[in-house]
């Protein structure tokens, strides 16, 4: 074969091909050929600047990790809509690129020193001594798939866009007159009357005819289509069924106990007290010197440790108890504190100990040893633990066996018989889920309505409901969607019509009352059965009346000469009301603190508004091409 290749390579065609490759390498480099094979269009371009596939994939993966972490222990990656996730991340990258180009276009700049300072000051990258730890920095970045250079680049971009936003925040302001006006409006009070129309009473007066029901049904019969449903057969594997404490022998328990004793180290607990000196505005040396000075006063007998803790300790939880921390074993306190405590002699007071919280003086008050539990004390727990461990191994083995059997079987009968499981059946349910834990499980719903189970009539793969439970399902019956009859939906339609007519009736009554009162009639003249509810000097969002009444009252203008201020509104729960403002009272004095807060708030809102308009303008003029 090699001889054939050698002979063919001497031909004129082969020499021409080799010559073309050599010329291509010479002119354009190896990348010219590799690029042809691996060329892939960027997912988007913003004003000619590409957003790379690598950036998109990295951001999608980061977002996916965040979503899964929010889902908790039972997170299912299949529940994430990858298409929607990719689209949302790409949109965000496009927006970020537009803002980044705007910042660069204004010659905004972030120095390398500033990035260094931010990284070093980030507590996520600091060790136990409170200082930047390179290993910690790289370990944190690895968990999110970033290298230090990639992180610095992302941080630089974030700071650049934030710098532009801050320019709007720092240059926006509100005038004292605006703040004063807002403060007056915030402190304004009003005299309010309101009368309500009850939905319950209106519903009782509504009568619905069969003709109305039929007309409503005929308006849109398609809305009464039922959901396509399925009935499932399933078998369930449960780890608890494999647990058999009686199978655990005395020898097994005794062996486990001996192993536990071998691992057990007679530990001790120590009763400590401490005085904490926090690192305040002064230098670290100031806190250490203060701790040393207090220690000298205690050693000289001038102060007791408890009195010093009550006077000087910055730990509010222990200071009032003389600094007492109780008895504790290893693993409770931070490293330097624990190392010092367990190296001390009873009654000793330590030199100042530095931790992330500040400097501590530690006093060791007492030491007590812990003893290994007896066999009688541990035997019941060890028996349960051994049974559970054996059950877990048997469950995992059975789960693998179940996967093989359900894949190759034509129904559930074979895997059920092989594993001694009972075939069970669900009630009918649709894609929105049923009323049981099984039929409401998202994993079960996706499998039940998949093509494999509906069209190909296969058994599902084992679906893990939890770490200890799994099911295999099979569609026993398909129930197609159908249109419900009028008789089946009559109660629903009657309820809809009654609600609509009652609401319309109340609205008409409320609006007619507003017209009558505006024309000069009194409430008693319009309807003697109605009566005003009244409140004097009501503040905004007061809780003494329905919230909608209060808000409507403060939206209404002042009553004019012979012109009442009235409004008909719908209340929460469906009732209606007519609101009247009788009087408006301005505050005699302005709260200066409130005015200053409102001034700052108004300035911030204006900054947000201006920056949003700026972003909208950038998006409108940007040339964005999605591929």
What 3 state SS string does 321-371 have? CCCEEEEECCCCCCHHHHHHHCCCCCCCECCCEEECCEEEEEEEEEEEECC
3 state SS for 69-112:
HHHCCCCCHHHCCHHHHHHHHHHHHHHHHHHHHHHHHCCCCCCH
Residue 263 is predicted with a pLDDT of: 62
Cβ(480)–Cβ(228) under 8 Å? yes
Average pLDDT per block of 10 residues along the chain, 627 residues long: 44 50 47 46 86 85 79 70 87 90 88 87 83 85 80 88 87 88 89 94 94 94 91 91 78 80 68 87 78 91 90 84 85 84 90 88 86 79 78 84 91 92 94 91 92 91 89 94 93 95 95 93 91 92 87 91 90 94 90 87 89 90 87
Closest of 556, 558, 557, 582 to residue 569, by C-alpha: 556
The residues pairing with 355 across neighbouring beta strands, listed in sequence order, are: 358
* Two structure tokens written together for 48: 């000619």
**Four-CA torsion 423, 427, 432, 435, nearest 10 degrees:** -100
- Cα–Cα distance measured from residue 86 to residue 64, given in angstroms and rounded to the nearest whole number: 10
Residue 54 is predicted with a pLDDT of: 83
For 51-110, how does the pLDDT look when each residue is reduced to its tens digit (9 = 90+)? Answer: 888 888 888 888 887 787 777 666 667 677 888 888 988 988 998 899 999 888 888 888
Sign of the CA dihedral running 598, 599, 600, 602: positive
- Cα–Cα distance measured from residue 400 to residue 117, given in angstroms and rounded to the nearest whole number: 53
The continuous run of DSSP H or E covering 299 comes out as helix 284-299
- Cα–Cα distance measured from residue 94 to residue 622, given in angstroms and rounded to the nearest whole number: 10
In eight-state DSSP terms, residue 146 is: -
Residue 265 is predicted with a pLDDT of: 57
Sign of the CA dihedral running 215, 220, 221, 226: negative
Is this structure's pTM higher than 0.95?
no
Sign of the CA dihedral running 175, 181, 185, 186: positive
For 39-50, how does the pLDDT look when each residue is reduced to its tens digit (9 = 90+)? Answer: 567 888 889 888
- Cα–Cα distance measured from residue 286 to residue 281, given in angstroms and rounded to the nearest whole number: 10
The vertex-321 CA angle with 317 and 323, nearest 5°, equals 75
Cβ(306)–Cβ(273) under 8 Å? yes
Rg (CA), the chain: 38
Output phi, psi for 525, to 5 deg.
-70, -35
- In the chain, % helix, strand, coil (3-state, to 5) comes to 55, 15, 30
Residues in the chain: 627
- Cβ atoms within 10 Å of 184's Cβ, excluding its own: 14
**Tokens 């075939």 sit on residue:** 423
Output phi, psi for 224, to 5 deg.
-105, 20
In eight-state DSSP terms, residue 48 is: T
The residues pairing with 581 across neighbouring beta strands, listed in sequence order, are: 192, 565
- CA–CA distances in Å: residue 349 to residues 298, 305, 365, 522: 9, 9, 9, 85
Residue 35 is predicted with a pLDDT of: 45
The continuous run of DSSP H or E covering 618 comes out as helix 592-621
Q: Where are the alpha helices (DSSP H) in 122-197?
A: 134-143, 148-171, 176-187
Output phi, psi for 455, to 5 deg.
-90, -40
Closest of 267, 268, 265, 264 to residue 364, by C-alpha: 268
Residue 33 is predicted with a pLDDT of: 44
Closest of 239, 194, 307, 303 to residue 554, by C-alpha: 194
- Cα 283 versus chain centre, distance: 39
Half-sphere exposure of 475 (CA within 13 A, CB side): 22
Residues near 166 by beta carbon (within 8 Å), at least 6 away in sequence:
none
Q: Residue 18: is it exposed, middle or buried by C-beta count within 10 angstroms (0-12/13-18/19+)?
A: exposed
* Two structure tokens written together for 459: 């058994």
Closest of 243, 200, 293 to residue 468, by C-alpha: 243
Residue 23 is predicted with a pLDDT of: 46
Residues near 44 by beta carbon (within 8 Å), at least 6 away in sequence:
50, 51, 90, 93, 94, 624, 625, 626, 627
SS3 567: strand
In eight-state DSSP terms, residue 575 is: -
């Amino acid at each position: 074969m090699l001889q054939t290749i050698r002979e063919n390579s001497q031909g004129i065609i082969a020499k021409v091909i080799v010559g073309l490759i050599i010329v291509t390498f010479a002119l354009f480099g190896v990348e010219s050929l590799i690029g042809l094979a691996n060329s892939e269009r960027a997912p988007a371009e913003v004003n000619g600047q590409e957003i790379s596939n690598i950036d998109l994939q990295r951001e999608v993966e980061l977002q996916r990790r965040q979503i899964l972490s929010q889902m908790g222990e039972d997170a299912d990656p299949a529940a994430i809509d990858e298409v929607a996730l990719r689209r949302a991340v790409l949109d965000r990258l496009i927006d970020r690129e537009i803002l980044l180009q705007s910042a660069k276009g204004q010659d905004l700049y972030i120095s390398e020193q500033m990035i260094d300072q931010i990284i070093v000051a980030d507590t996520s990258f600091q060790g136990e001594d409170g200082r930047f730890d390179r290993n910690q920095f790289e370990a944190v970045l690895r968990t999110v798939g970033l290298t230090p250079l990639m992180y610095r680049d992302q941080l630089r971009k974030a700071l650049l866009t934030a710098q532009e936003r801050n320019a709007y925040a720092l240059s926006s302001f509100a005038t004292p007159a605006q703040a004063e006006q807002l403060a007056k409006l915030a402190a304004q009070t009003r005299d309010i009357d309101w009368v309500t129309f009850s939905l319950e009473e209106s519903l009782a007066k509504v009568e619905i005819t069969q003709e109305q029901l039929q007309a409503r049904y005929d308006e849109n019969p398609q809305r009464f289509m039922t959901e396509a449903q399925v009935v499932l057969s399933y078998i369930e594997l449960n780890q608890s069924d494999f647990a058999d404490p009686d199978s655990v022998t005395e020898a097994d328990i005794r062996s486990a106990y001996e192993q536990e004793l071998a691992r057990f180290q007679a530990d001790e607990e120590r009763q400590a007290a401490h005085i904490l000196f926090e690192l305040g505005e002064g230098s670290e040396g100031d806190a250490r010197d203060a701790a040393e000075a207090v220690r000298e006063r205690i050693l000289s007998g001038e102060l007791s440790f408890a009195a010093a803790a009550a006077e000087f300790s910055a730990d509010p939880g222990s200071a009032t108890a003389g600094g007492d921390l109780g008895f504790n074993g290893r693993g409770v306190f931070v490293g330097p504190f624990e190392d010092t405590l367990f190296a001390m002699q009873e009654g000793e007071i330590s030199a100042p100990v530095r931790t992330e919280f500040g400097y501590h003086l530690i006093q060791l008050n007492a030491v007590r040893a812990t003893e290994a539990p007896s066999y009688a004390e541990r035997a019941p727990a060890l028996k349960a633990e051994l049974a559970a461990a054996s059950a877990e191994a048997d469950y995992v083995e059975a789960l693998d066996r179940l996967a093989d059997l359900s894949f190759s079987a034509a129904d559930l009968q074979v895997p059920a018989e092989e594993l001694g499981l009972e075939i069970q059946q669900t009630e009918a349910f649709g894609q929105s889920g049923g009323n049981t834990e099984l039929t409401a499980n998202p994993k079960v719903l996706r499998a039940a309505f998949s093509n494999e189970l509906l069209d190909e009539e296969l058994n599902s793969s084992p679906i893990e409901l939890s770490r200890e439970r799994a099911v295999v399902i099979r569609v026993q019956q398909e129930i197609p969607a159908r249109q419900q009859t009028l008789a089946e939906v009559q109660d629903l339609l009657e309820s809809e019509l009654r609600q609509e007519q009652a609401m319309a009736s109340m609205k008409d009554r409320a609006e007619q009352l507003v017209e009558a009162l505006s024309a000069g009639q009194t409430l008693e003249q319009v309807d003697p059965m109605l009566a005003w509810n009244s409140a004097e000097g009501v503040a905004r969002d007061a809780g003494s009346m329905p919230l909608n009444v209060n808000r409507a009252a403060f939206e209404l203008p002042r009553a004019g000469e012979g012109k009442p201020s009235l409004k008909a509104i719908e209340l929460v729960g469906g009732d209606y009301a007519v609101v009247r403002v009788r009087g408006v009272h301005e505050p005699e004095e302005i709260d200066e603190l409130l005015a200053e807060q409102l001034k700052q708030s108004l300035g911030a809102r204006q900054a947000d508004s201006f920056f949003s308009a700026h972003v909208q303008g950038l998006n409108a003029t940007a040339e964005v091409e999605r591929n």
